[in-house]
Structure 1
Amino acid sequence: MANKYEMFSVLVTEVEQATPLIKRFTLAREDGAPMPAFTGGSHVIVQMQGADGSQFSNAYSLMSDPRDTRSYQIGVRLEEQSKGGSAFMHQQVQVGSRLTLSSPNNLFALDPSAGRHVLIAGGIGITPFLAQLHELEGGASDYELHYAFRAPEHGAFQQQLESGPHAANTRFYIDSLERKLDLTALCAGLAEDAHLYVCGPKPLIDAVIATAAKAGIAEQRVHWEQFAAAPVTGAAFTVVLARSGTELQVEEGMTILQAIEKSKAAKVECLCREGVCGTCETAILEGEAEHFDQYLSDDEKAAQQSMMLCVSRARSARLVLDL
């Protein structure tokens, strides 16, 4: 079931401090060969290894022009509750550093059936839209970008957007200046063939989904992406590994993957630990999952045939997995 990625080594060729909390990294192959092709909305898994043997693995959206595969660019925000990856990128990675990347995957592509694309970004959530704007440039599709951030100094890549070809299609919303994004008004005025896309903090994503639903916008017209581990709240439950018969208790605050790794009862590959790469997908033999991943489609989640062990939990008191 695991989704197999090509992994390859890259050099960091440029590092730019875009805001006090966001850095832009330019990555290229050492031999000068082109990077794998990608489309706007794609992400890569970045694997980092410290001199002390520490290892981190995070998903980041590609923000550069898909037409130029000489290099990739990613934007990384230094997270307050960092699992280590964003802190490593900010504190340890510099020009000349080597990183390992996965081939790109896209769970957030522009829908070709949309008559208008309405892009809503919050903070670092601007990054996938920067690649998509390259695809929209000069095309037949109508589009608009709404970009919200906390204060002027946190508007990553604002100058690039204001001075580029998308300036007339872009609106900025700055909390500290009381310039707020009115989602109700935005959703109320949408044409029936318009699609909404949102990337950013969870409260923004939740608000867009809820406001769109209240406005009668069909679910299939609302697209979202967030790279963050799902909350591991909820009651403890039992996981049975069918091949060995091992029973594990997954406590509140722990993921199934962590419980398996702690017990060493089975080996599970997982690149992202954020529910986006698909490598830890595992078949469900008994019980039902509470899905928190972004990898499976709604139909696949409803089918209860498999789950992502890094973020999803049990809806039932007991889960039996094909491990």
Structure 2
Amino acid sequence: MSAGLQVQVSAARMLTPIVREFTLAPCRGNLPGFSPGSHVQVHLPIGERNLRNAYSLTSDPANNDHYRIAVRLQERSRGGSRYLHDRVKVGDTLTISAPANLFALHSTGQLHILIAGGIGITPFMAYIQTLEQRQANFELHYLYRPSLTDAYLEQLRARLGSRLHGYETSKDFDPKAIFSNRPLGSHVYTCGPQSLLSAVEEQAKALGWPASRLHCEAFSAPQPGQPFELELTRSGRRLQVGADQSLLEALEDAGVPVPNLCRGGVCGHCVTRHLGGEIEHRDNFLSAAEQAEFLMPCVSRGYGPCVALDL
């Protein structure tokens, strides 16, 4: 990865008790342009580790004099979100990557149906600004917990009016209704926890919705599992992966470089060949046939005592 972009925190505010927004200004010149759905990786020097956490850009893609991100404090944070909530202040300098987009808006859609769960609202903040500028037809379905994961809710109510559909519990949300009586060429975009993505994907499949018009991005903290041992067959090294640690984090902590981008199991940059052990695949990228040979260390884990990787 390149040295990155130097930015200064020009503003910070709490949107909810667990969601903090940061405005990032360039230290020199203008920032690179980006498209709606893009994210940046924020480099976080925590102890001897250098974490790189990915956050969606919520600011207007038409304006490149600043970026905005919103960070949810994760209950099992190993330092990333906790560091940004507790230690980063206005005036601090951060290093970020150039924007990358794995969740792009499709310009040809007749209707854009946006479905957000909690902090999954963040990429849609940029979507909405672009869709309004294009005078495109869209609606937003927002699942949230009141006064906790309802970032930007009042702003969206004032801005969108009847185009906003809010749900205080997942029980109020009916995925089947999302796909009913939609014009040909409609696109559905879902961002949020895996449970929401699965519910939408299952309903789309049951109704025969074309896969090319269904777009998903998972926004959830890696789920813990049992600790296991990792064998690197090329180097002969053995590493321990903790219960609350991802396989990718264990490799990074040990100084083993693995290309990565999304850190959420959707982009495929970190795909690695596995050579032994039982694997719990948690990605949304590999096919069943590919999972027999490869895994994505940003989200996948071992079932048994040891997993061997071609590293």
TM-score of the alignment, normalized to the shorter chain, above 0.5: yes
| CA distance in structure 1 between the partners assigned to 2:161 and 2:75 by the alignment | 31
Cα offset, 1:221, TM superposition: 2.3
Contact map agreement 2:217 2:266 (CA 8 A) in 1? no
**Counterpart residue identity of residue 202, structure 2:** A
Residue of structure 2 in register with 1:20 after alignment: 17
| CA distance in structure 1 between the partners assigned to 2:300 and 2:107 by the alignment | 30
Which of 258, 275, 297 aligns to 1:309? It is 297
RMSD (Å), alpha carbons: 3.6
Q: Give the SS at the match of 1:159.
A: helix
Q: Is 1:200 the equivalent of 2:192?
A: yes
Q: Is 1:189 the equivalent of 2:181?
A: yes
Q: Is 1:221 the equivalent of 2:213?
A: yes
Q: Is 1:133 the equivalent of 2:121?
A: no
Cα offset, 1:107, TM superposition: 0.9
Cα offset, 1:215, TM superposition: 2.4
Contact map agreement 1:188 1:215 (CA 8 A) in 2? no
Residue of structure 2 in register with 1:169 after alignment: 163
Cα offset, 1:16, TM superposition: 1.7
**Counterpart residue identity of residue 172, structure 2:** K
Residue of structure 2 in register with 1:115 after alignment: 110
Matched pairs, number: 311
Contact map agreement 2:112 2:188 (CA 8 A) in 1? yes
Q: Is 1:37 the equivalent of 2:29?
A: no
My pick for the range that moved more, 224-233 or 126-135, is 224-233
Q: Give the SS at the match of 1:223.
A: strand
Q: Give the SS at the match of 2:172.
A: coil
Contact map agreement 1:121 1:147 (CA 8 A) in 2? yes
**Counterpart residue identity of residue 125, structure 1:** G
My pick for the range that moved more, 64-73 or 275-284, is 275-284
Q: TM-score, normalised by structure 2?
A: 0.82
| CA distance in structure 2 between the partners assigned to 1:106 and 1:78 by the alignment | 23
Using a 3 Å threshold, how does the CA distance of structure 1 residues 157 and 179 change in structure 2: closer, same or farther?
A: farther
Cα offset, 1:186, TM superposition: 2.0
Instruction: Please show how residues 54-203 of structure 1 align to structure 2 within 5 Å.
Output: 55-139=50-134, 141-151=136-146, 154-164=149-159, 166-175=160-169, 180-203=172-195
Over residues 138-178 of structure 1, what are the superposed CA-to-partner deviations in whole Å (9 max), with x where a residue is unaligned? 426421111121125642212222233x3342222234xx9
My pick for the range that moved more, 114-123 or 219-228, is 219-228
Using a 3 Å threshold, how does the CA distance of structure 1 residues 306 and 159 change in structure 2: closer, same or farther?
A: same
Q: Give the SS at the match of 1:110.
A: coil
Q: Give the SS at the match of 2:119.
A: helix
Residue of structure 1 in register with 2:234 after alignment: 243
Contact map agreement 1:57 1:271 (CA 8 A) in 2? no
Over residues 262-313 of structure 1, what are the superposed CA-to-partner deviations in whole Å (9 max), with x where a residue is unaligned? 7x5954465764446766443567899765345x5x5698487754323234
Give percent identity, aligned residues only.
Answer: 39
Question: Unaligned stretches of 5+ in structure 1?
Answer: none
Cα offset, 1:104, TM superposition: 0.9
| CA distance in structure 1 between the partners assigned to 2:64 and 2:289 by the alignment | 34
Cα offset, 1:36, TM superposition: 1.1
Q: Give the SS at the match of 2:32.
A: coil
**Counterpart residue identity of residue 110, structure 1:** L
Cα offset, 1:220, TM superposition: 2.9
Contact map agreement 1:152 1:174 (CA 8 A) in 2? no
Cα offset, 1:132, TM superposition: 0.7
Cα offset, 1:193, TM superposition: 2.2
Q: Give the SS at the match of 2:104.
A: coil
Q: Give the SS at the match of 2:143.
A: strand
